Amino acid sequence: MKKAKIAQHWKKQLVGKWQITFMPDFTKKDVNEEGPASFEVKSDGSGEFRFLLVQGNAYGDFKNNPEGPVFDFTWDGSDECDEASGDGWMQANPEGKAEGGIRFHGGDTYKFRAAKSRQEEKTPLPKSARKKIAKKKK
């Protein structure tokens, strides 16, 4: 596969709507307080997320990383009606799951795990990419 084609495939791994399934600092009930916690990544590098009483608009870039594709972003939004902003990242893995962190400017970082929403088609990484990742982990 040519380099540009591989980059497009990596990007496709992250684009779509993700359910935030776990945040180690909070109970599932708290994470989903304002509705299902989610993170939507769009192909143009924008996105939206919500968890707890936090809602944000993300703006970022897609990057290739040896462990999997990464969406690296800054964000602005609100936390309990107060203005909030920061940065973060989300990385997909070969199993179609993701993990990441959302950092508040001058404050805490909240880690999360996510899975593609059921409506989203899962696009597995090509076999060659899975082998490359497995080699790098050894």
Model-level pTM?
0.79
Return the exposure string of 82-94: e unless at least 16 CB atoms fall within 10 Å of the residue's CB, then b. Answer: eebbbbbbbbbeb
Tell me the per-residue pLDDT of 66-102, one tens digit each, with 9 for 90 and over: 888 999 999 999 999 899 999 999 999 878 899 999 9
Say yes or no to pLDDT of 56 above 80. Answer: yes
Q: Where are the domains positioned within the chain?
A: 3-137
Q: Tell me which CATH code domain 3-137 carries.
A: 2.40.128
Q: How far is CA 24 from the centre of its chain?
A: 16
By DSSP bridging, strand 46-51 and strand 54-63 are antiparallel
Q: pLDDT band at 12, cuts 50/70/90?
A: confident
Tell me the per-residue pLDDT of 116-137, one tens digit each, with 9 for 90 and over: 987 554 455 555 655 655 655 5
